[in-house]
């Protein structure tokens, strides 16, 4: 199960495009709200979520995904989010973060010695990371993406990590990437 955490002000493209790609690859994805069933993104698009953060079944989690946008600050301020990140990290699960959201896991020291990318200007929060200019980077159990323009590559990188390069390549071709 992939849980995508949505906070008010999330970057819509960074959440929805990877979710669409993961679903096309046959992955099970749940949109998760911090509070209300409906969450409005940075550009006024409201999304109905599948469940609240308090309903997550941790033992079903394969990957925890954090989109960026102004909503990343809301995610970073929520102790339940940090608790889930810690759970994923301590249980060798995957963590995906795009745009400004890698700063959340970077400030926790989880990127030390790992290749990572983020939206320009947030590199200072990727403590100890080997910075990459690639649109999407996977290093161990961490997958990071640069920003909205990299959302497709980020989604495809998640598919590659979870289902293999062949699955990602076939999806890339089918979607005309």
Name the region of 176 (left: φ>0; alpha: ψ -120 to 50; beta: rest): left
Q: Looking at residue 30, what is its pLDDT?
A: 98
Q: Looking at residue 83, what is its pLDDT?
A: 98
pLDDT digit of tens for each residue in the chain (177 aa)? 999 999 999 999 999 999 999 999 999 999 999 999 999 999 999 999 999 999 999 999 999 999 999 999 999 999 999 999 999 999 999 999 999 999 999 999 999 999 999 999 999 999 999 999 999 999 999 999 999 999 999 999 999 999 999 999 999 999 999
Please enumerate in sequence order all residues whose Cβ is within 8 A of that of 103, keeping only pairs 6 or more positions apart, or say none: 72, 76, 118, 122, 125, 126
First to last CA, the chain: 25
170 token code pair: 């076939």
CA distances from 54 to 71, 80, 102, 170 (A): 18, 8, 23, 35
Q: Looking at residue 158, what is its pLDDT?
A: 98
Q: What are the structural domains of the chain?
A: 2-174 (3.40.50.880)
pTM of the model as a whole = 0.97
Q: Largest Cα–Cα distance of the chain, in whole Å? A: 40
């Amino acid at each position: 199960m992939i849980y995508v955490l949505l906070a008010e002000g999330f970057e819509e493209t960074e959440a929805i495009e990877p979710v669409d790609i993961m679903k096309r690859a046959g992955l099970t994805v749940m949109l998760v709200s911090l509070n209300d069933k409906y969450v409005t993104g940075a550009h006024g698009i409201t999304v109905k979520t599948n469940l609240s953060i308090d309903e997550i079944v941790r033992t079903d989690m394969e990957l925890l995904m954090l989109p960026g946008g102004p909503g990343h600050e809301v995610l970073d301020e929520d102790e339940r989010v940090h608790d889930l990140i810690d759970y994923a990290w301590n249980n060798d699960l995957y963590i995906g973060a795009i745009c400004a959201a890698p700063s959340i896991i970077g400030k926790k020291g989880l990127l030390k010695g790992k290749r990572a990318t983020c939206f320009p200007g947030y590199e200072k929060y990727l403590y100890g990371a080997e910075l990459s200019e690639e649109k999407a980077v996977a290093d161990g159990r961490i997958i990071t993406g640069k920003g909205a323009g990299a959302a497709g590559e980020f989604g495809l990188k998640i598919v590659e990590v979870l289902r293999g390069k062949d699955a990602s390549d076939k999806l890339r071709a089918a979607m005309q990437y």
